[in-house]
Structure 1
Amino acid sequence: MATILSESVIVPAEQRVKAHTLTHIPIVPLGSTIADVHALLHREHGFDTVKFVYVVSAEGALAGIVSFRDLFTHSPQTTVDAVMETEHLITVSAHLDNEHATHLALRHGLQSVPVTEHGKLIGVIPSRYLLQIFKKDAAEDVALAAALPEEARRDLDNVFEDSTVTTTLKRLPWLLVGLAGGVLAALIIHGFEDLLQEHLILASFIPLVVYLSGAMSAQVQMFYIRDLAVYDALPMLRYIGRHGIVVVALGIMVATVLFAINSAFLGLGAAATVVSVATMAAVLSAIVTGIGVPFLLSKVLKDPASATPPLAIISSDLLTVFLYFTTASALLS
Protein backbone atom coordinates (compact mmCIF):
# COMPACT_ATOMS: atom_id res chain seq x y z
CA MET A 1 0.00 0.00 0.00
CA ALA A 2 1.44 3.34 -1.02
CA THR A 3 2.04 6.01 1.55
CA ILE A 4 1.13 9.35 0.01
CA LEU A 5 2.36 12.47 1.74
CA SER A 6 1.06 15.81 0.54
CA GLU A 7 0.32 19.26 1.82
CA SER A 8 -1.86 22.02 0.43
CA VAL A 9 -1.93 25.76 1.12
CA ILE A 10 -3.42 28.72 -0.72
CA VAL A 11 -0.63 30.58 -2.52
CA PRO A 12 -0.33 32.77 -5.63
CA ALA A 13 -0.37 30.82 -8.92
CA GLU A 14 3.23 31.73 -9.84
CA GLN A 15 4.48 30.33 -6.52
CA ARG A 16 2.70 26.98 -6.85
CA VAL A 17 4.27 23.66 -7.77
CA LYS A 18 1.98 23.47 -10.80
CA ALA A 19 3.85 26.36 -12.42
CA HIS A 20 7.02 24.22 -12.54
CA THR A 21 5.42 20.83 -13.23
CA LEU A 22 6.46 18.77 -16.26
CA THR A 23 3.34 17.07 -17.59
CA HIS A 24 4.70 15.06 -20.54
CA ILE A 25 5.94 12.02 -18.62
CA PRO A 26 5.65 8.24 -19.20
CA ILE A 27 2.50 7.01 -17.44
CA VAL A 28 1.07 3.48 -17.68
CA PRO A 29 -1.92 1.81 -15.99
CA LEU A 30 -1.73 -1.02 -13.50
CA GLY A 31 -1.38 -4.39 -15.18
CA SER A 32 0.86 -3.10 -17.97
CA THR A 33 3.89 -5.19 -18.92
CA ILE A 34 7.48 -4.13 -19.45
CA ALA A 35 6.83 -4.69 -23.16
CA ASP A 36 3.97 -2.18 -23.00
CA VAL A 37 6.32 0.38 -21.45
CA HIS A 38 8.94 -0.22 -24.18
CA ALA A 39 6.25 0.25 -26.80
CA LEU A 40 5.16 3.51 -25.16
CA LEU A 41 8.71 4.86 -25.11
CA HIS A 42 9.19 3.97 -28.79
CA ARG A 43 5.82 5.38 -29.78
CA GLU A 44 5.96 8.62 -27.81
CA HIS A 45 8.94 10.91 -28.33
CA GLY A 46 10.06 14.00 -26.45
CA PHE A 47 9.11 13.08 -22.90
CA ASP A 48 10.10 15.83 -20.47
CA THR A 49 11.82 13.22 -18.31
CA VAL A 50 12.32 9.44 -18.56
CA LYS A 51 14.11 8.70 -15.30
CA PHE A 52 11.01 6.92 -14.01
CA VAL A 53 7.83 5.39 -15.37
CA TYR A 54 4.76 6.23 -13.31
CA VAL A 55 2.06 3.62 -12.73
CA VAL A 56 -1.48 4.82 -12.05
CA SER A 57 -4.74 3.23 -10.97
CA ALA A 58 -7.94 3.29 -13.00
CA GLU A 59 -8.82 6.54 -11.23
CA GLY A 60 -5.50 8.12 -12.22
CA ALA A 61 -3.96 8.02 -8.74
CA LEU A 62 -0.26 7.20 -8.41
CA ALA A 63 0.12 3.52 -7.56
CA GLY A 64 3.87 3.05 -7.99
CA ILE A 65 7.10 4.05 -9.71
CA VAL A 66 9.32 1.96 -12.00
CA SER A 67 12.94 2.99 -12.44
CA PHE A 68 14.49 3.09 -15.92
CA ARG A 69 16.93 0.35 -14.87
CA ASP A 70 14.10 -2.07 -14.10
CA LEU A 71 12.90 -1.83 -17.70
CA PHE A 72 16.05 -3.64 -18.83
CA THR A 73 16.56 -6.09 -15.96
CA HIS A 74 13.20 -7.87 -16.23
CA SER A 75 11.59 -9.86 -19.01
CA PRO A 76 9.13 -8.09 -21.33
CA GLN A 77 6.27 -10.21 -19.97
CA THR A 78 6.80 -8.99 -16.40
CA THR A 79 4.06 -6.65 -15.20
CA VAL A 80 4.91 -3.27 -13.76
CA ASP A 81 2.91 -4.26 -10.68
CA ALA A 82 5.64 -6.77 -9.83
CA VAL A 83 8.59 -4.39 -10.06
CA MET A 84 7.22 -0.97 -9.16
CA GLU A 85 8.13 0.81 -5.94
CA THR A 86 5.04 1.24 -3.79
CA GLU A 87 6.39 1.92 -0.32
CA HIS A 88 6.75 5.46 1.02
CA LEU A 89 5.67 7.21 -2.16
CA ILE A 90 5.86 10.97 -1.82
CA THR A 91 3.54 13.23 -3.80
CA VAL A 92 2.79 16.94 -3.61
CA SER A 93 -0.34 18.85 -4.41
CA ALA A 94 -0.22 20.97 -7.57
CA HIS A 95 -1.32 23.90 -5.43
CA LEU A 96 1.47 23.46 -2.89
CA ASP A 97 3.86 26.33 -2.26
CA ASN A 98 7.17 25.93 -4.11
CA GLU A 99 9.26 26.33 -0.97
CA HIS A 100 7.43 23.56 0.86
CA ALA A 101 7.91 21.28 -2.15
CA THR A 102 11.69 21.80 -2.16
CA HIS A 103 11.92 21.15 1.58
CA LEU A 104 9.88 17.98 1.13
CA ALA A 105 12.21 16.79 -1.65
CA LEU A 106 15.34 17.57 0.38
CA ARG A 107 13.96 15.92 3.50
CA HIS A 108 13.23 12.67 1.65
CA GLY A 109 16.19 12.78 -0.77
CA LEU A 110 14.03 12.79 -3.91
CA GLN A 111 15.37 13.35 -7.42
CA SER A 112 11.93 14.43 -8.60
CA VAL A 113 8.53 14.72 -6.98
CA PRO A 114 5.25 13.44 -8.50
CA VAL A 115 2.55 16.13 -8.59
CA THR A 116 -1.14 15.41 -8.06
CA GLU A 117 -4.30 17.42 -8.55
CA HIS A 118 -7.63 16.25 -7.13
CA GLY A 119 -5.97 12.93 -6.37
CA LYS A 120 -4.77 12.30 -9.92
CA LEU A 121 -1.16 12.29 -11.13
CA ILE A 122 -0.58 15.21 -13.52
CA GLY A 123 3.22 15.33 -13.78
CA VAL A 124 6.47 15.71 -11.85
CA ILE A 125 8.64 18.54 -10.63
CA PRO A 126 12.26 17.62 -11.53
CA SER A 127 15.43 18.16 -9.53
CA ARG A 128 16.68 21.04 -11.70
CA TYR A 129 13.55 23.06 -10.94
CA LEU A 130 13.68 22.10 -7.27
CA LEU A 131 17.24 23.47 -7.05
CA GLN A 132 16.27 26.69 -8.85
CA ILE A 133 13.35 27.22 -6.49
CA PHE A 134 15.49 26.43 -3.45
CA LYS A 135 18.18 28.92 -4.53
CA LYS A 136 15.61 31.67 -5.13
CA ASP A 137 13.82 31.06 -1.83
CA ALA A 138 17.12 30.91 0.07
CA ALA A 139 18.10 34.34 -1.29
CA GLU A 140 14.72 35.74 -0.26
CA ASP A 141 15.04 34.20 3.22
CA VAL A 142 18.46 35.79 3.75
CA ALA A 143 17.07 39.18 2.76
CA LEU A 144 14.10 38.74 5.08
CA ALA A 145 16.39 37.56 7.88
CA ALA A 146 18.29 40.82 7.56
CA ALA A 147 14.99 42.62 8.13
CA LEU A 148 15.16 44.26 4.70
CA PRO A 149 11.86 45.61 3.35
CA GLU A 150 10.86 44.91 -0.26
CA GLU A 151 12.03 48.29 -1.56
CA ALA A 152 15.39 47.91 0.20
CA ARG A 153 15.94 44.49 -1.38
CA ARG A 154 15.79 46.09 -4.80
CA ASP A 155 18.70 48.39 -3.83
CA LEU A 156 21.03 45.59 -2.74
CA ASP A 157 24.55 45.46 -4.17
CA ASN A 158 24.13 43.09 -7.13
CA VAL A 159 27.41 42.23 -8.85
CA PHE A 160 25.58 40.79 -11.86
CA GLU A 161 23.30 43.77 -12.49
CA ASP A 162 25.22 46.80 -11.21
CA SER A 163 28.08 48.31 -13.20
CA THR A 164 31.66 47.91 -12.00
CA VAL A 165 31.83 51.61 -11.13
CA THR A 166 28.59 51.46 -9.10
CA THR A 167 29.69 48.37 -7.18
CA THR A 168 33.13 49.87 -6.49
CA LEU A 169 31.70 53.17 -5.23
CA LYS A 170 29.28 51.32 -2.94
CA ARG A 171 32.07 49.36 -1.28
CA LEU A 172 34.93 51.89 -1.24
CA PRO A 173 33.66 54.09 1.65
CA TRP A 174 33.64 51.19 4.08
CA LEU A 175 37.17 50.19 3.12
CA LEU A 176 38.27 53.78 3.76
CA VAL A 177 36.63 53.57 7.18
CA GLY A 178 38.65 50.41 7.76
CA LEU A 179 41.80 52.24 6.65
CA ALA A 180 41.12 54.97 9.20
CA GLY A 181 40.59 52.28 11.82
CA GLY A 182 43.96 50.75 10.96
CA VAL A 183 45.64 54.12 11.52
CA LEU A 184 43.84 54.37 14.87
CA ALA A 185 45.11 50.91 15.82
CA ALA A 186 48.66 52.05 15.05
CA LEU A 187 48.14 55.07 17.31
CA ILE A 188 46.91 52.80 20.11
CA ILE A 189 50.05 50.68 19.82
CA HIS A 190 52.15 53.86 19.75
CA GLY A 191 50.48 54.92 23.01
CA PHE A 192 52.02 51.88 24.69
CA GLU A 193 55.51 52.67 23.37
CA ASP A 194 57.07 52.79 26.83
CA LEU A 195 55.56 49.40 27.70
CA LEU A 196 56.90 47.90 24.48
CA GLN A 197 60.40 49.28 25.10
CA GLU A 198 60.49 47.50 28.45
CA HIS A 199 58.75 44.32 27.26
CA LEU A 200 59.49 43.93 23.57
CA ILE A 201 58.19 40.35 23.62
CA LEU A 202 54.63 41.74 23.71
CA ALA A 203 55.02 43.06 20.16
CA SER A 204 55.93 39.59 18.90
CA PHE A 205 52.48 38.29 19.78
CA ILE A 206 50.41 41.10 18.24
CA PRO A 207 49.83 39.22 14.92
CA LEU A 208 48.84 36.04 16.77
CA VAL A 209 46.45 37.82 19.14
CA VAL A 210 44.82 39.78 16.31
CA TYR A 211 44.43 36.59 14.27
CA LEU A 212 42.89 34.58 17.12
CA SER A 213 40.44 37.32 18.00
CA GLY A 214 39.54 37.94 14.34
CA ALA A 215 39.06 34.24 13.60
CA MET A 216 36.81 33.76 16.61
CA SER A 217 34.86 36.91 15.76
CA ALA A 218 34.34 35.64 12.20
CA GLN A 219 33.12 32.29 13.54
CA VAL A 220 30.57 33.94 15.81
CA GLN A 221 29.49 36.29 13.02
CA MET A 222 28.90 33.44 10.55
CA PHE A 223 26.86 31.50 13.10
CA TYR A 224 24.82 34.63 13.83
CA ILE A 225 24.07 35.29 10.15
CA ARG A 226 23.20 31.63 9.57
CA ASP A 227 20.90 31.50 12.58
CA LEU A 228 19.12 34.67 11.48
CA ALA A 229 18.20 32.88 8.26
CA VAL A 230 17.29 29.57 9.93
CA TYR A 231 15.24 30.71 12.93
CA ASP A 232 12.10 32.83 12.81
CA ALA A 233 13.21 34.81 15.87
CA LEU A 234 16.31 34.82 18.04
CA PRO A 235 16.09 35.47 21.80
CA MET A 236 19.06 37.83 21.66
CA LEU A 237 20.02 37.94 25.35
CA ARG A 238 19.98 34.16 25.65
CA TYR A 239 21.70 33.81 22.27
CA ILE A 240 24.51 36.21 23.23
CA GLY A 241 24.84 34.48 26.59
CA ARG A 242 25.27 31.06 24.99
CA HIS A 243 27.88 32.34 22.55
CA GLY A 244 29.56 34.22 25.39
CA ILE A 245 30.03 31.00 27.36
CA VAL A 246 31.55 29.30 24.32
CA VAL A 247 33.89 32.24 23.63
CA VAL A 248 35.06 32.30 27.27
CA ALA A 249 35.73 28.55 27.17
CA LEU A 250 37.67 28.87 23.92
CA GLY A 251 39.59 31.85 25.28
CA ILE A 252 40.68 29.88 28.34
CA MET A 253 41.75 26.92 26.19
CA VAL A 254 43.72 29.09 23.77
CA ALA A 255 45.40 30.97 26.63
CA THR A 256 46.32 27.69 28.34
CA VAL A 257 47.89 26.27 25.17
CA LEU A 258 49.74 29.54 24.56
CA PHE A 259 51.04 29.57 28.14
CA ALA A 260 52.31 25.99 27.81
CA ILE A 261 54.11 26.76 24.53
CA ASN A 262 55.67 29.97 25.86
CA SER A 263 56.83 28.30 29.06
CA ALA A 264 58.10 25.03 27.60
CA PHE A 265 59.65 26.14 24.33
CA LEU A 266 60.29 29.88 24.56
CA GLY A 267 61.23 30.06 28.22
CA LEU A 268 59.37 33.32 28.83
CA GLY A 269 58.77 32.68 32.51
CA ALA A 270 56.48 35.33 34.07
CA ALA A 271 55.97 36.96 30.67
CA ALA A 272 54.18 33.80 29.53
CA THR A 273 51.43 34.45 32.09
CA VAL A 274 51.08 38.08 31.02
CA VAL A 275 50.86 37.19 27.32
CA SER A 276 48.35 34.40 27.94
CA VAL A 277 46.02 36.46 30.15
CA ALA A 278 46.22 39.45 27.80
CA THR A 279 45.46 37.17 24.84
CA MET A 280 42.42 35.70 26.59
CA ALA A 281 41.10 39.19 27.36
CA ALA A 282 41.55 40.22 23.74
CA VAL A 283 39.86 37.08 22.41
CA LEU A 284 36.76 37.79 24.53
CA SER A 285 36.08 40.81 22.31
CA ALA A 286 34.86 38.36 19.65
CA ILE A 287 31.39 38.25 21.19
CA VAL A 288 31.07 42.02 20.79
CA THR A 289 32.41 42.28 17.25
CA GLY A 290 30.95 38.98 16.03
CA ILE A 291 27.33 39.74 16.95
CA GLY A 292 27.21 43.40 17.96
CA VAL A 293 28.57 44.89 14.73
CA PRO A 294 26.35 42.99 12.24
CA PHE A 295 23.33 43.46 14.53
CA LEU A 296 23.76 47.25 14.71
CA LEU A 297 24.54 47.63 11.01
CA SER A 298 21.45 45.62 10.03
CA LYS A 299 19.37 48.15 11.96
CA VAL A 300 20.82 51.32 10.43
CA LEU A 301 21.78 50.34 6.85
CA LYS A 302 19.64 49.18 3.93
CA ASP A 303 22.39 46.86 2.66
CA PRO A 304 24.83 45.92 5.46
CA ALA A 305 26.72 43.40 3.28
CA SER A 306 29.32 45.95 2.11
CA ALA A 307 29.84 47.52 5.52
CA THR A 308 29.82 44.52 7.86
CA PRO A 309 33.12 42.78 6.89
CA PRO A 310 35.36 45.91 6.95
CA LEU A 311 33.77 47.33 10.10
CA ALA A 312 33.67 43.99 11.90
CA ILE A 313 37.34 43.32 11.10
CA ILE A 314 38.65 46.75 12.06
CA SER A 315 36.51 46.94 15.21
CA SER A 316 37.83 43.52 16.17
CA ASP A 317 41.42 44.65 15.57
CA LEU A 318 40.96 47.89 17.53
CA LEU A 319 39.30 46.23 20.49
CA THR A 320 41.80 43.37 20.46
CA VAL A 321 44.86 45.64 20.45
CA PHE A 322 43.39 47.88 23.14
CA LEU A 323 42.46 44.99 25.46
CA TYR A 324 45.76 43.20 24.85
CA PHE A 325 47.95 46.14 25.83
CA THR A 326 45.65 47.40 28.58
CA THR A 327 45.62 43.99 30.26
CA ALA A 328 49.37 43.54 29.84
CA SER A 329 50.02 47.02 31.21
CA ALA A 330 47.82 46.38 34.25
CA LEU A 331 49.54 43.07 35.02
CA LEU A 332 53.08 44.38 34.56
CA SER A 333 52.52 47.54 36.57
Structure 2
Amino acid sequence: MSALGELSQMKRGPKGPKRKLTDAEKKEERASYLFLAPWILGLALITIGPMAASLYLSFTNYNLLQAPEWISLDNYIRMMQDSRLLNSLKVTFLYVFISVPLQLVAALALALVLDRGMKGLGFYRSIYYLPSLLGGSVAIAVLWRQIFGNAGLINQVLALVGIEGKGWISDPSTALGTLMILNVWTFGAPMIIFLAGLRQIPTMYYEAASVDGASKVRQFATITIPLLTPIIFFNLVLQIIGAFQSFTQAFVVSGGTGGPSDSTMFFTLYLYQQGFGNFNMGYASAMAWLLLIIIAIFTFLNFIASKYWVFYDD
Protein backbone atom coordinates (compact mmCIF):
# COMPACT_ATOMS: atom_id res chain seq x y z
CA MET A 1 0.00 0.00 0.00
CA SER A 2 1.29 3.47 -0.83
CA ALA A 3 2.12 6.03 1.84
CA LEU A 4 -0.91 8.09 0.81
CA GLY A 5 -3.12 5.03 1.09
CA GLU A 6 -1.71 4.18 4.52
CA LEU A 7 -2.33 7.74 5.70
CA SER A 8 -5.88 7.61 4.41
CA GLN A 9 -6.40 4.24 6.12
CA MET A 10 -5.10 5.68 9.39
CA LYS A 11 -7.58 8.54 9.20
CA ARG A 12 -10.48 6.19 8.40
CA GLY A 13 -9.47 3.58 10.92
CA PRO A 14 -9.55 -0.15 10.11
CA LYS A 15 -13.05 0.06 8.66
CA GLY A 16 -15.91 2.46 8.26
CA PRO A 17 -16.06 6.21 7.55
CA LYS A 18 -13.39 8.77 8.23
CA ARG A 19 -12.94 9.27 11.95
CA LYS A 20 -13.19 12.67 13.58
CA LEU A 21 -9.88 14.42 14.15
CA THR A 22 -8.81 15.19 17.68
CA ASP A 23 -8.12 18.75 18.78
CA ALA A 24 -4.37 18.11 18.61
CA GLU A 25 -4.65 16.78 15.06
CA LYS A 26 -6.78 19.76 14.01
CA LYS A 27 -4.18 22.10 15.47
CA GLU A 28 -1.42 20.27 13.61
CA GLU A 29 -3.42 20.45 10.37
CA ARG A 30 -3.94 24.22 10.76
CA ALA A 31 -0.22 24.63 11.42
CA SER A 32 0.61 22.75 8.22
CA TYR A 33 -1.59 25.09 6.18
CA LEU A 34 0.07 28.06 7.86
CA PHE A 35 3.51 26.85 6.79
CA LEU A 36 2.21 26.20 3.26
CA ALA A 37 0.59 29.63 3.00
CA PRO A 38 3.68 31.49 1.62
CA TRP A 39 4.09 28.90 -1.15
CA ILE A 40 0.37 28.91 -1.97
CA LEU A 41 0.29 32.71 -2.09
CA GLY A 42 3.41 32.77 -4.26
CA LEU A 43 1.91 30.22 -6.63
CA ALA A 44 -1.33 32.18 -6.91
CA LEU A 45 0.10 35.71 -7.12
CA ILE A 46 3.41 35.17 -8.92
CA THR A 47 2.65 32.22 -11.22
CA ILE A 48 -1.04 31.50 -11.79
CA GLY A 49 -2.17 35.13 -11.63
CA PRO A 50 0.28 36.49 -14.24
CA MET A 51 -0.32 33.46 -16.47
CA ALA A 52 -4.07 34.03 -16.42
CA ALA A 53 -3.56 37.75 -17.10
CA SER A 54 -1.24 37.05 -20.05
CA LEU A 55 -3.73 34.55 -21.47
CA TYR A 56 -6.43 37.22 -21.38
CA LEU A 57 -4.11 39.86 -22.85
CA SER A 58 -3.22 37.51 -25.71
CA PHE A 59 -6.75 38.06 -27.04
CA THR A 60 -6.52 41.84 -26.77
CA ASN A 61 -4.85 44.86 -28.31
CA TYR A 62 -2.91 46.32 -25.40
CA ASN A 63 -0.14 48.95 -25.51
CA LEU A 64 0.42 49.43 -21.74
CA LEU A 65 -1.06 52.95 -21.90
CA GLN A 66 -4.69 52.29 -22.75
CA ALA A 67 -7.17 49.71 -21.54
CA PRO A 68 -6.98 46.33 -23.33
CA GLU A 69 -9.27 46.04 -26.35
CA TRP A 70 -10.71 42.58 -27.03
CA ILE A 71 -9.81 41.42 -30.56
CA SER A 72 -10.43 37.68 -30.20
CA LEU A 73 -7.98 35.52 -32.23
CA ASP A 74 -6.47 38.36 -34.27
CA ASN A 75 -3.07 38.13 -32.51
CA TYR A 76 -2.82 34.39 -33.22
CA ILE A 77 -3.84 34.87 -36.85
CA ARG A 78 -1.28 37.65 -37.16
CA MET A 79 1.47 35.33 -35.92
CA MET A 80 0.88 32.99 -38.85
CA GLN A 81 1.50 35.86 -41.25
CA ASP A 82 4.47 37.45 -39.46
CA SER A 83 7.59 36.63 -41.48
CA ARG A 84 9.96 37.88 -38.74
CA LEU A 85 8.25 35.64 -36.19
CA LEU A 86 8.55 32.65 -38.50
CA ASN A 87 12.24 33.46 -39.01
CA SER A 88 12.74 33.74 -35.24
CA LEU A 89 11.25 30.26 -34.85
CA LYS A 90 13.64 28.95 -37.49
CA VAL A 91 16.62 30.54 -35.72
CA THR A 92 15.49 29.20 -32.35
CA PHE A 93 14.94 25.67 -33.66
CA LEU A 94 18.40 25.63 -35.26
CA TYR A 95 19.91 26.85 -32.00
CA VAL A 96 18.11 24.18 -29.95
CA PHE A 97 18.61 21.22 -32.29
CA ILE A 98 22.33 21.86 -32.83
CA SER A 99 23.65 23.34 -29.60
CA VAL A 100 21.80 21.10 -27.11
CA PRO A 101 23.11 17.75 -28.50
CA LEU A 102 26.63 19.19 -28.75
CA GLN A 103 26.40 20.48 -25.20
CA LEU A 104 25.29 17.10 -23.87
CA VAL A 105 28.06 15.29 -25.76
CA ALA A 106 30.66 17.67 -24.32
CA ALA A 107 29.20 17.31 -20.83
CA LEU A 108 29.20 13.51 -21.00
CA ALA A 109 32.73 13.37 -22.40
CA LEU A 110 34.09 15.53 -19.62
CA ALA A 111 32.11 13.62 -16.99
CA LEU A 112 33.75 10.39 -18.22
CA VAL A 113 37.16 11.99 -17.82
CA LEU A 114 36.42 13.25 -14.31
CA ASP A 115 34.93 9.89 -13.31
CA ARG A 116 38.36 8.29 -13.47
CA GLY A 117 39.06 9.53 -9.96
CA MET A 118 41.81 12.05 -10.64
CA LYS A 119 43.38 14.07 -7.85
CA GLY A 120 41.67 17.35 -7.06
CA LEU A 121 38.37 16.15 -8.50
CA GLY A 122 36.38 18.64 -6.41
CA PHE A 123 38.44 21.53 -7.74
CA TYR A 124 38.06 20.50 -11.38
CA ARG A 125 34.36 19.85 -10.91
CA SER A 126 33.89 23.37 -9.55
CA ILE A 127 35.93 24.94 -12.34
CA TYR A 128 34.03 23.16 -15.07
CA TYR A 129 30.69 23.98 -13.42
CA LEU A 130 31.50 27.69 -13.34
CA PRO A 131 30.53 28.38 -17.00
CA SER A 132 26.99 27.20 -16.27
CA LEU A 133 26.69 29.83 -13.57
CA LEU A 134 28.10 32.61 -15.74
CA GLY A 135 27.10 31.58 -19.27
CA GLY A 136 23.74 33.36 -19.21
CA SER A 137 25.10 36.56 -17.67
CA VAL A 138 25.48 39.89 -19.41
CA ALA A 139 29.22 40.02 -18.59
CA ILE A 140 29.96 36.74 -20.38
CA ALA A 141 27.85 37.79 -23.38
CA VAL A 142 29.86 41.01 -23.61
CA LEU A 143 33.10 39.01 -23.33
CA TRP A 144 31.88 36.67 -26.07
CA ARG A 145 31.20 39.67 -28.29
CA GLN A 146 34.79 40.80 -27.80
CA ILE A 147 36.26 37.34 -28.41
CA PHE A 148 34.49 36.94 -31.76
CA GLY A 149 34.79 40.58 -32.84
CA ASN A 150 36.94 41.86 -35.70
CA ALA A 151 39.92 42.39 -33.38
CA GLY A 152 38.97 39.65 -30.96
CA LEU A 153 40.91 36.73 -29.56
CA ILE A 154 39.81 34.30 -32.28
CA ASN A 155 41.14 36.49 -35.08
CA GLN A 156 44.36 37.14 -33.16
CA VAL A 157 44.98 33.40 -32.87
CA LEU A 158 44.20 32.89 -36.56
CA ALA A 159 46.60 35.70 -37.48
CA LEU A 160 49.43 33.79 -35.80
CA VAL A 161 49.10 31.04 -38.42
CA GLY A 162 48.60 33.44 -41.31
CA ILE A 163 44.81 33.20 -41.58
CA GLU A 164 42.84 36.40 -41.96
CA GLY A 165 39.81 36.37 -39.72
CA LYS A 166 36.49 38.15 -40.02
CA GLY A 167 33.81 39.64 -37.87
CA TRP A 168 32.23 36.39 -36.72
CA ILE A 169 29.38 38.16 -34.96
CA SER A 170 28.78 40.66 -37.76
CA ASP A 171 28.53 37.93 -40.41
CA PRO A 172 25.00 36.43 -40.76
CA SER A 173 26.47 33.04 -41.70
CA THR A 174 28.45 32.69 -38.46
CA ALA A 175 26.69 34.90 -35.88
CA LEU A 176 24.31 32.19 -34.71
CA GLY A 177 27.17 29.70 -34.54
CA THR A 178 28.96 31.85 -31.97
CA LEU A 179 25.89 31.71 -29.73
CA MET A 180 25.76 27.94 -30.18
CA ILE A 181 29.38 27.71 -29.04
CA LEU A 182 28.51 29.81 -26.01
CA ASN A 183 25.66 27.44 -25.11
CA VAL A 184 27.92 24.40 -25.55
CA TRP A 185 30.46 26.09 -23.28
CA THR A 186 27.90 26.14 -20.46
CA PHE A 187 28.06 22.36 -20.06
CA GLY A 188 28.77 22.44 -16.32
CA ALA A 189 25.29 21.67 -14.98
CA PRO A 190 24.60 18.60 -17.17
CA MET A 191 28.21 17.47 -16.61
CA ILE A 192 27.68 17.37 -12.83
CA ILE A 193 24.46 15.39 -13.30
CA PHE A 194 26.20 12.97 -15.70
CA LEU A 195 29.04 12.52 -13.22
CA ALA A 196 26.57 11.68 -10.45
CA GLY A 197 24.92 9.16 -12.75
CA LEU A 198 28.23 7.53 -13.65
CA ARG A 199 29.06 7.13 -9.97
CA GLN A 200 25.83 5.15 -9.49
CA ILE A 201 26.70 2.47 -12.09
CA PRO A 202 27.92 -0.67 -10.24
CA THR A 203 31.55 -1.52 -11.04
CA MET A 204 30.72 -5.23 -11.12
CA TYR A 205 29.21 -4.79 -14.58
CA TYR A 206 32.50 -3.47 -15.96
CA GLU A 207 34.47 -6.18 -14.15
CA ALA A 208 32.29 -8.90 -15.65
CA ALA A 209 32.58 -7.34 -19.11
CA SER A 210 36.39 -7.17 -18.78
CA VAL A 211 36.52 -10.85 -17.85
CA ASP A 212 34.50 -11.61 -21.00
CA GLY A 213 37.04 -9.63 -23.05
CA ALA A 214 34.84 -6.62 -23.89
CA SER A 215 36.77 -3.54 -24.97
CA LYS A 216 36.32 -0.11 -23.35
CA VAL A 217 34.28 1.04 -26.34
CA ARG A 218 31.96 -1.95 -26.08
CA GLN A 219 31.59 -1.46 -22.35
CA PHE A 220 30.66 2.16 -22.97
CA ALA A 221 28.08 1.20 -25.62
CA THR A 222 26.51 -1.76 -23.80
CA ILE A 223 26.82 -0.75 -20.14
CA THR A 224 27.41 2.96 -19.64
CA ILE A 225 24.98 4.36 -22.19
CA PRO A 226 22.00 2.06 -21.40
CA LEU A 227 22.34 2.58 -17.64
CA LEU A 228 22.81 6.31 -18.15
CA THR A 229 19.76 6.81 -20.38
CA PRO A 230 17.55 8.14 -17.51
CA ILE A 231 20.19 10.81 -16.82
CA ILE A 232 20.53 11.59 -20.53
CA PHE A 233 16.76 11.97 -20.77
CA PHE A 234 16.65 14.24 -17.73
CA ASN A 235 19.42 16.48 -19.07
CA LEU A 236 17.87 16.51 -22.55
CA VAL A 237 14.50 17.75 -21.31
CA LEU A 238 16.03 20.42 -19.06
CA GLN A 239 18.46 21.73 -21.68
CA ILE A 240 15.82 21.87 -24.44
CA ILE A 241 13.51 23.89 -22.20
CA GLY A 242 16.38 26.21 -21.26
CA ALA A 243 17.55 26.63 -24.85
CA PHE A 244 14.07 27.63 -26.05
CA GLN A 245 14.08 30.37 -23.40
CA SER A 246 17.54 31.73 -24.23
CA PHE A 247 17.54 35.52 -24.40
CA THR A 248 20.45 37.31 -22.74
CA GLN A 249 23.18 36.05 -25.08
CA ALA A 250 21.38 37.09 -28.26
CA PHE A 251 20.28 40.41 -26.78
CA VAL A 252 23.77 41.45 -25.69
CA VAL A 253 25.72 40.06 -28.65
CA SER A 254 23.38 41.65 -31.21
CA GLY A 255 22.79 44.82 -29.25
CA GLY A 256 19.11 43.93 -28.89
CA THR A 257 18.51 43.94 -32.65
CA GLY A 258 18.78 40.23 -33.42
CA GLY A 259 21.19 41.10 -36.21
CA PRO A 260 22.91 40.86 -38.46
CA SER A 261 19.97 40.29 -40.81
CA ASP A 262 17.94 38.71 -37.99
CA SER A 263 20.41 35.80 -37.87
CA THR A 264 20.40 35.87 -34.04
CA MET A 265 16.74 36.83 -33.66
CA PHE A 266 15.66 34.31 -31.04
CA PHE A 267 11.93 33.93 -30.46
CA THR A 268 12.30 35.36 -26.96
CA LEU A 269 14.20 38.38 -28.33
CA TYR A 270 11.47 39.08 -30.89
CA LEU A 271 8.88 38.70 -28.12
CA TYR A 272 10.79 41.28 -26.08
CA GLN A 273 10.93 43.68 -29.03
CA GLN A 274 7.19 43.40 -29.59
CA GLY A 275 6.26 43.79 -25.93
CA PHE A 276 8.73 46.37 -24.63
CA GLY A 277 9.99 47.93 -27.87
CA ASN A 278 6.79 48.34 -29.86
CA PHE A 279 4.44 48.15 -26.84
CA ASN A 280 2.39 45.42 -28.52
CA MET A 281 1.85 43.70 -25.20
CA GLY A 282 -1.20 41.76 -26.40
CA TYR A 283 0.75 40.35 -29.35
CA ALA A 284 3.72 39.59 -27.09
CA SER A 285 1.41 37.71 -24.69
CA ALA A 286 0.15 35.59 -27.59
CA MET A 287 3.76 34.88 -28.56
CA ALA A 288 4.52 33.84 -24.98
CA TRP A 289 1.69 31.32 -25.05
CA LEU A 290 2.91 30.02 -28.40
CA LEU A 291 6.33 29.44 -26.83
CA LEU A 292 4.70 27.64 -23.91
CA ILE A 293 2.82 25.38 -26.32
CA ILE A 294 5.99 24.65 -28.32
CA ILE A 295 7.95 23.72 -25.19
CA ALA A 296 5.06 21.59 -23.93
CA ILE A 297 4.87 19.73 -27.26
CA PHE A 298 8.60 18.97 -27.33
CA THR A 299 8.54 17.88 -23.69
CA PHE A 300 5.55 15.63 -24.36
CA LEU A 301 7.25 14.10 -27.41
CA ASN A 302 10.40 13.48 -25.38
CA PHE A 303 8.39 11.62 -22.75
CA ILE A 304 6.63 9.56 -25.39
CA ALA A 305 9.90 8.70 -27.16
CA SER A 306 11.61 7.88 -23.85
CA LYS A 307 9.57 4.66 -23.64
CA TYR A 308 11.67 3.27 -26.51
CA TRP A 309 15.21 4.27 -25.47
CA VAL A 310 15.28 5.04 -21.73
CA PHE A 311 15.96 2.01 -19.51
CA TYR A 312 15.35 1.80 -15.78
CA ASP A 313 16.68 -0.78 -13.34
CA ASP A 314 13.18 -1.84 -12.33
TM-score by length of 1: 0.26
Q: Tell which structure's C-alpha radius of gyration is larger.
A: 1
RCO comparison, higher one (Cα < 8 Å, 6+): 2
Higher helix share: 2
